[in-house]
Amino acid sequence: MKIFLKLKDIITSGTERIFDMLYCENCMKPVEAGRCPDCNRKKLRELKPDDPVYLITKDATIGASIEDILRQNNIPCLKRAELGAGITAYVGYYHETFRFYVPHSLFEHAKELLANFFDANEDQDEKAGTNAP
């Protein structure tokens, strides 16, 4: 029983402190030390495994594929419209771009999935480029 508790302590403390990284709540990204290089903010806190971190920015069409891929792999994602809702209504939904965020603990996995996705679609993109006027 005692050993079991000890093991649990080790596992718990291991998940709470990862790499000694800090987190900027303003930019939603991991920061190594000191202040955030993006917003210059000094008010940083310890990075937790479920903190949402910025993954990628894509338009509505590719964004929908990204959402599908993440959902199929059980990676929860947070999607934020880059333009405001008012601007979107004016320019149209498909001009909207979205910023995607995933939990830090799943970030590397998500990045890998997207790399595979974009590799598989690279040929199509090139064709689309040459057909453009």
Q: Site residues (CB under 5 A) for Zn ion?
A: 24, 26-27, 36, 38-39, 41
Alpha helix segments (H runs only) across 27-75: 60-72
Judged by CB, which is closer to Zn ion: 54, or 118? 54
CB of 121 to Zn ion, least distance (A): 31
Query: 27-32: which pairs have CB atoms within 8 A and are 24 or more residues apart?
Result: 27/54, 28/52, 28/53, 28/54, 28/101, 29/53, 29/54, 30/104
Please give the backbone phi and psi of residue 53, each rounded to the nearest 5 degrees, phi first. -120, 150
In the complex, least distance from residue 41 CB atom to Zn ion, rounded to whole angstroms:
5
Nearer Cβ to Zn ion (27/62): 27
- Residue count of the chain, please give it: 133
Q: How far is the CB of 72 from Zn ion (least distance, A)?
A: 31
Burial (0-12, 13-18, 19+ Cβ within 10 Å), 81 = middle
Nearer to Zn ion, 27 or 75 (CB): 27
Residue (of 96, 102, 99, 109) closest to 60 by Cα position: 96
CB of 33 to Zn ion, least distance (A): 13
Q: Is the CB of 38 or the CB of 112 nearer to Zn ion?
A: 38
